[in-house]
Amino acid sequence: MSDIFKFIKKVCTIVAIFSISCLVLACNNEKKNEYFDGEVIKKEDTYIIVEPFDSKVRDDYDDKIYVPIDDLTSPPSVETLAEGQEVRVLYSKISKKDKKFKVENTFSVLNLSDVKE
């Protein structure tokens, strides 16, 4: 009978180690959302144009980035966004379409003064 318990203990140990390893790998592979800070220089019904503060973002993309706001997944509401407002844009990626750089999958546009570092 003790051989069966040793075997069960060994199997449980292996399963536990495997489970912990999978959990650690899954946490490390979680993709972080990208973001940039900038000023809203134009607001339309379905998008805003943001001028990034960071020179690296401007160098990599452009000094004007189109940000869709018609399907934001989290606040603020579109009504609270205004030209001249400093914002943080959370997104999945930026692509170039029709000679314009546009955010894809805008998760949120936050008032920069509300962001806690």
Task: Write the DSSP string, 52-115.
Answer: ES-HHHHHHT-S-EEEE-TT-SSSSPGGG--TT-EEEEEEEEEEEETTEEEEEEEEEEEEGGG-
pTM summary value: 0.66
What confidence tens digit (pLDDT) does each residue in 14-46 have? 766 766 655 555 554 445 678 899 999 999 888
- 7 phi and psi angles, rounded to 5 deg: -65, -45
Q: What is the mean pLDDT of the chain?
A: 79
Provide the token pair at 19.
């489970």
Q: Is residue 66 scored above 60 in pLDDT?
A: yes
